Structure 1
Amino acid sequence: MTDELIFFTNPMSRGRIVRWMLEETGCAYRTEILAFGPDMKAPGYLAVNPMGKVPAILHKGKIVTEGAAVCAYLADAFPEAGLAPPPHDRAAYYRWMFFAAGPVEAALSNKAFGFEVPADRQRAIGYGSIENVVDTLDYAVTQSEYIAGDRFSAADIYVGSQIGWGMMFGTLEKRPAFEAYWQRISTRPAALRAREIDDALVPPKA
């Protein structure tokens, strides 16, 4: 069985989160670029991810999909990179990574498509209201220098990416706390390197 790590992505997708994570680990990996449409829905790739979406990784014969899951997996697969707290100190790490993967992702996606949960139905949806999600996210990034304490971790990559994209695309207001947090993490060498790699892979505009 090969130990090769294969990264399935598109440079204009959430695969950018995983690219950053991979660059932080320093591990060797091979990239497979998939175009939106037929490439992602082809039988060969559906065997990797039946959703027909990226990102995904294949590592030591095992498949991992979903950005937060891939980040958490890679942090454990390459412990020498120090991207996860010790197991006994992972409460905030898991809490905020999966808060970003659940309520934040859902709320900001709904906002991007103009969907607003009626006030009388907010108890029936996981995130309640977008205002509550944003206030909670503001709380999360102001409790310590990094999202899970005083050290950068995989959770910062995932939470930070949600914040960075949200502010860029206008689905998340540019609060001072968000801008300060994003500035702290987005200039890391691995983050800059990952953006440079993916930007170079974006097809030129016709």
Structure 2
Amino acid sequence: MNSPSELTFFHAPHSRSSSVRVLLEELGAPYRIHAINLKDEAEYDPSYRAINPLAKVPALKDGDAVITERVAIHIYLPDRFPAGGLAPTVDDPQRGPYLRWLALYGSCFEPAVIDRQQQHAPAPYSTSPYGDFDTLFKTLTDHLEHQGPWMLGERFSSADILWASSLNFTTHFELIPEHPAIRAYIDRYLARPAVQRTYAADIELAETQDAGVTT
């Protein structure tokens, strides 16, 4: 692929796509925001469905390439901007654990949280993609307690932006139990300048959308 040029980032403030905005800021990547107003249901507009037929944010355009799905973007961007140091290279021993935690989030954690929140009857352990919520939750908290402070130990990565942003949301809305290791992990994440900068910018963007200003 050619040298990085400005990316187009399809983003809605205070949504899942906020973690990608943090990632872009941490990487120092060049990007412009195409804001999606979820209150106006702009995600269902045909022009956006042409980008993501599922009508979900985030989405990213890099030249002619379109990348949807948050986990995919969290893998793609650090590899696209390796100078940011947010992903182990393919020959790094930590590459496997890094990919494991990224995949575990999308394939296990989100489905488990939704099932729990919706009070769905659990699927048989052998057919559930995550087994059961309690085992998954203990796997996460044990890892943070004994192998932290980040998912890769002392090394902060894109996986932490994905996980910590989501844990911040799910604990705030009481979708998962409180746990000291998770609280400490979230607090470390929230103290990062790129996170604070992004959250402040998202508040401003949300206020602009509420005022009916097109961005």
TM-score by length of 1: 0.91
In structure 1, the partner of 2:196 is 192
C-alpha distance in structure 2 between counterparts of 1:116 and 1:193, whole Å = 40
C-alpha distance in structure 2 between counterparts of 1:136 and 1:202, whole Å = 35
- Matches for 1:1-206 after TM superposition, within 5 Å: 3-36=5-38, 38-88=41-91, 89=93, 90-117=95-122, 121-142=124-145, 143-203=147-207, 204=210
Q: How many residues align?
A: 203
Shift of 1:7: 0.5
C-alpha distance in structure 2 between counterparts of 1:116 and 1:175, whole Å = 24
Tell me which amino acid in the other structure corresponds to 1:128: G
Q: Which runs of 5+ in 1 are unaligned?
A: none
Shift of 1:18: 0.6
User: Which runs of at least 4 in structure 1 moved beyond 6 Å after TM superposition?
Assistant: none
C-alpha distance in structure 1 between counterparts of 2:51 and 2:131, whole Å = 33
C-alpha distance in structure 2 between counterparts of 1:53 and 1:114, whole Å = 23
| Deviation digits for residues 107-152 of structure 1 (CA, Å, limit 9, x no counterpart) | 112222222316xx23221112111111111123231321023210
C-alpha distance in structure 1 between counterparts of 2:48 and 2:169, whole Å = 26
C-alpha distance in structure 2 between counterparts of 1:112 and 1:200, whole Å = 30
Shift of 1:86: 2.6
CA RMSD, aligned part only?
1.9
1:170 and 1:93, CA in 2 relative to 1: closer, same or farther beyond 3 A? same
Q: Which runs of 5+ in 2 are unaligned?
A: none
Structure 1 residue matching 2:201: 3-state secondary structure? helix
Are the equivalent residues in 1 in contact too, given 2:5–2:30 (CA < 8 A)? Answer: no
C-alpha distance in structure 2 between counterparts of 1:146 and 1:192, whole Å = 18
C-alpha distance in structure 2 between counterparts of 1:48 and 1:127, whole Å = 30
Are the equivalent residues in 2 in contact too, given 1:100–1:162 (CA < 8 A)? Answer: no
Tell me which amino acid in the other structure corresponds to 2:184: A
Identity among equivalent positions (%) equals: 33
Tell me which amino acid in the other structure corresponds to 2:140: L
